[in-house]
């Protein structure tokens, strides 16, 4: 997660104003959280990439879990455990399972979530671990997909199969993925997730565009997530 002081230059005025207002609102709305601050500092110390959710997004995810009284959360992509902490502290009694394939990231996440008895981090490739969890009969109230854009549709398919009726699947960076087209001739936007969800009668879904307060590059600030509720 980049710090707000790194706000990009050369933004349209309305965007700069929106960011300033959002950062002010963030300072007013978010409570201090020493564990999150320590996790962020530890990630920085160990050169973990600044690609975690922003504080306001973490709060939003936690509120979604609170609104749905989620007791079981599955996260795809742990990194240093920043979003994992938001989930772990979202609802009394919630249990969080997070999947990460980098041993280094997993180790830092274990440090950052130490003492949180409701967090389990599984090391491995997301699709393989998801199949293991499915075979174990695990069922989730909320699934957060935040890794490996190339397999968003596959993760979504598995996630829906493991989510209870009325539960939700949240896929991050969906709009960024749609915009991530190289200049090369023939390169096309990857609509595979949206195409898959369009034909998936198990869910009702929406895509919400977002403007991140915590990205350094202008093109990374404009993003959006997909939220699906299982019928
Ligand atoms: C965007 S980061 C996750 C950020 C984290 N959710 C947060 O907000 O704090 C994506 C993470 O997914 C991991 N990852 C990427 N591909 C993966 C895969 N196929 N299986 C499991 N983890 C993967 C990366 O190593 C990285 O740590």
Q: Which atom of ligand 1 is nearest to the CA of 151?
A: 19
53 near 82, Cβ under 8 Å? yes
Atom in ligand 1 nearest the alpha carbon of residue 148: 16
Q: How confident is the model at residue 118 (pLDDT cuts 50, 70, 90)?
A: very high
Structure tokens at 111: 């440090």
Q: pTM, whole model, 2 decimals? A: 0.94
Model pLDDT for residues 135-167, shown as the tens digit of each residue: 999 999 999 999 999 999 999 999 999 999 999
Provide the residue range defining the domain that includes 96: 4-170
Q: How far apart are CA 71 and CA 88, in angstroms?
A: 10
Judge whether 101 lies within some domain. Answer: yes
- Examine the pLDDT at 5 and tell me if it is beyond 50: no
Residue 184 lies in a domain: no
Question: In angstroms, what is the span from residue 47 Cα to ligand 1's centroid?
Answer: 15
Nearest atom in ligand 1 to the alpha carbon of residue 172 is 1
Cα-Cα-Cα-Cα dihedral sign, residues 210, 10, 181, 103:
negative
CA 61 – ligand 1 centroid, Å:
17
Closest CA to 73 of 82, 62, 59: 62
Instruction: Report residue 25: phi and psi, to 5°.
Output: -60, -40
Q: Which residues have CB under 6 Å of ligand 1? A: 51-53, 77-79, 82-83, 99-102, 105, 125-126, 146-148
ipTM of the complex in this document: 0.99
Q: Are strands 203-211 and 163-171 parallel, antiparallel or unpaired?
A: unpaired
**Does 194 map to a domain?**
no
User: Is 30 a domain residue?
Assistant: yes
Please tell me the distance from the alpha carbon of residue 142 to that of residue 91, in angstroms, as a whole number. 12
Residue 212: inside a domain: no
In a domain, 105, yes or no: yes
- Ligand 1 centroid, distance to 95 Cα (angstroms): 19
Q: Whose CA is nearest to atom 4 of ligand 1?
A: 52
Over residues 85-116, the pLDDT tens digits come to: 999 999 999 999 999 999 999 999 999 999 99
Predicted confidence (pLDDT) at residue 222 exceeds the cutoff of 60: yes
Q: How far is the CA of 149 from the centre of ligand 1 (A)?
A: 10
Which distant-in-sequence residues (6+ apart) come within 8 Å of 159 by Cβ?
A: 74, 76, 130, 140, 143, 145, 169
188 within domain boundaries: no
208, part of any domain: no
CATH (domain of 107):
3.40.50.150
Nearest protein CA to atom 27 of ligand 1, as residue: 79
Predicted pLDDT at 4:
47
219 alpha carbon – ligand 1 mean position (Å): 20
Ligand 1 atom with least separation from CA of 80: 9
The answer on pLDDT for 8 being more than 60 is no
Digit-coded pLDDT (tens) for 158-192: 999 999 999 999 999 999 999 988 777 678 889 99
pLDDT, one tens digit per residue, over 25-80 is 999 999 999 999 999 999 999 999 999 999 999 999 999 999 999 999 999 999 99
Residue 13: per-residue pLDDT: 85
Residue listed under structure tokens 């601050």: 37
Integer angstrom CA distances of residue 214 from 47, 133, 226:
17, 33, 19
207-213 — which CB contacts under 8 Å span 24+ positions? 207/174, 207/175, 209/175, 210/57, 210/175, 211/15, 211/18, 211/19, 211/22, 212/54, 212/57, 213/4, 213/7, 213/19, 213/22, 213/23, 213/26, 213/54, 213/56
Residue 2 confidence class, pLDDT cut points 50, 70, 90: very low
Number of domains in the chain: 1
Question: Are 71 and 97 in contact, with CB atoms under 8 Å apart?
Answer: no
CA of 81 to the centre of ligand 1 (A): 10
């Amino acid at each position: 997660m980049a710090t707000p002081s790194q706000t990009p230059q050369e933004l349209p005025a309305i965007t700069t104003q929106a960011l300033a207002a959002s950062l002010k609102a963030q300072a007013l709305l978010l409570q201090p959280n020493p564990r999150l601050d320590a996790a962020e500092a530890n990630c920085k110390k160990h050169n973990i990439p600044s690609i975690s959710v922003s504080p306001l997004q973490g709060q939003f995810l936690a509120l979604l879990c609170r609104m749905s009284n989620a007791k079981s959360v599955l996260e795809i992509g742990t990194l240093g455990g920043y979003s994992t902490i938001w989930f772990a502290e979202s609802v009394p009694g919630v249990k969080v399972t997070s999947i990460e394939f980098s041993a280094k990231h997993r180790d830092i996440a274990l440090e950052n979530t130490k003492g949180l008895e409701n967090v389990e981090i599984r090391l491995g490739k997301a699709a393989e671990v998801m199949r293991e969890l499915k075979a174990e009969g695990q069922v989730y109230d909320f699934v957060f997909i935040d890794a490996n854009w190339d397999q968003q549709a596959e993760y979504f398919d598995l996630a829906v199969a493991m989510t209870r009726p009325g539960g939700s699947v949240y896929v991050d960076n969906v709009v960024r993925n749609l915009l991530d087209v190289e200049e090369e001739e023939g390169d096309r936007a990857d609509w595979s997730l949206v195409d898959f969800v369009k034909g998936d009668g198990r869910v009702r879904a929406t895509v919400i565009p977002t403007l991140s307060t915590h990205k350094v590059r202008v093109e990374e600030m404009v993003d959006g997530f997909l939220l699906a509720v299982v019928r």
